[in-house]
């Protein structure tokens, strides 16, 4: 993906580092020249020195081909202005860091797809928002080494009708993933899954995953059969 990150602070630089490692095209915009040098040295991303609210700078960053734009500066006003400009260039996905709750409605009006609040801001939350998955983090455990997640199995899920043991024995199923609860939103039923438990599409699944296994888990748990109706 072609990603533009507004702000090269702690959040922006860590995002850039992870995205570069995942082989995405990453452009960081940062107004502080010294910080630009630090971000480039620590991430290897392309860094542009300038204002995130400058149309000229955005054009230099390649706003017309951006697939994801992330507003990660420390000022809501800058993040909002950046988001509005991204929307005017029809960027498909815009993610913003929210510091002051009073700005939330404005972010929504500006066309921001995902808002991450500063009280619980985490790089992996932004990454999941960027990927637009239905997997949400509930909490962390084991001093941050693992986390609890929940998700709704897709309507055309390839796991539909499979038992837990069948799923976990799949060759591409990652280690250190444990299913801990399953609920059915339609009838509000709930059960703790065991090896012979059968999963169904549209169920809510709660699981524990080591952070390094999350990407592989997302790939398996969100896999769907193609929608034949679109043919």
pLDDT tens figures, 103-132: 989 998 988 988 877 544 456 556 656 655
Pairing of β 68-71 and β 93-98? parallel
Cα separation, 162 vs 142, in Å, equals 30
CATH 3.30.70.1450 applies to domain 136-230: yes
Q: What are the tens digits of pLDDT across the range 34-45?
A: 999 999 999 999
CA-to-CA dists, residue 57 to 1, 31, 96, 108, 204, angstroms: 20, 10, 19, 24, 43
Of the CA atoms within 13 Å of residue 86, those in its CB half-sphere come to 30
Higher-confidence residue of 161 and 139: namely 161
* Average pLDDT of the residues in 124-149: 70
Residue 130 pLDDT: 60
Give yes or no for a contact between 83 and 111, defined as CB atoms under 8 angstroms apart.
yes
Positions of CATH 3.30.70.1450 in the chain: 136-230
pLDDT exceeds 70 at position 86: yes
Q: The tokens of 159 are what?
A: 């796991």
pTM: 0.58
CATH 3.40.50.720 intervals, the chain = 2-131
> pLDDT tens digit string along 14-28?
889 988 988 899 999
Q: Is 15:96 a contact under the CB 8 Å cutoff? A: no
**Residue pLDDT, tens place only, 65-84:** 999 999 999 899 999 999 99
Residue 212 gets which letter from DSSP?
G
Q: What's the pLDDT score for residue 121?
A: 43
CATH topology of domain 2-131: Rossmann fold (3.40.50)
CA dihedral for 121, 125, 131, 134, sign (positive or negative):
negative
Please check the confidence at residue 160 and state whether its pLDDT lies above 70.
Answer: yes
Average pLDDT over residues 118-147: 65
Residue, of 119 and 194, whose pLDDT is higher: 194
Cross-sheet strand order for the sheet of 146-152? 136-141, 146-152, 204-210, 177-184, 189-191
């Amino acid at each position: 993906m072609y990603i533009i990150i507004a702000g090269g602070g702690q959040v922006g630089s860590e995002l850039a580092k992870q995205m570069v490692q995942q082989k995405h095209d990453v452009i960081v915009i940062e107004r502080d020249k010294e910080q630009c040098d630090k971000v480039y040295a620590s991430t290897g991303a392309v860094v542009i020195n300038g204002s995130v609210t400058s149309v000229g700078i955005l054009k230099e960053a390649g706003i017309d081909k951006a697939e994801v734009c992330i507003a990660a500066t420390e000022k809501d006003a800058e993040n909002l202005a950046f988001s509005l400009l991204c929307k005017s260039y029809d960027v498909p996905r815009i993610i913003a860091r929210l510091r002051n709750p009073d700005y939330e409605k404005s972010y929504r009006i500006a066309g921001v797809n995902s808002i991450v609040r500063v009280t619980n801001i985490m790089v992996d939350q932004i990454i999941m928002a960027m990927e637009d998955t239905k997997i949400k983090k509930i909490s962390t455990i084991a001093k941050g080494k693992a986390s609890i997640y929940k998700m709704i199995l897709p309507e055309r899920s390839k796991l539909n009708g499979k038992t837990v043991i069948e799923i976990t024995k799949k060759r591409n199923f990652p280690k250190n993933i444990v299913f801990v609860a399953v609920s059915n939103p339609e009838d509000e039923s709930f059960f703790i899954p065991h090896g012979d438990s059968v999963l169904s599409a549209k169920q809510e699944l709660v699981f524990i995953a080591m952070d390094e296994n999350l990407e592989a888990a997302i790939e398996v748990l969100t896999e769907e059969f193609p929608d034949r109706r679109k043919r």
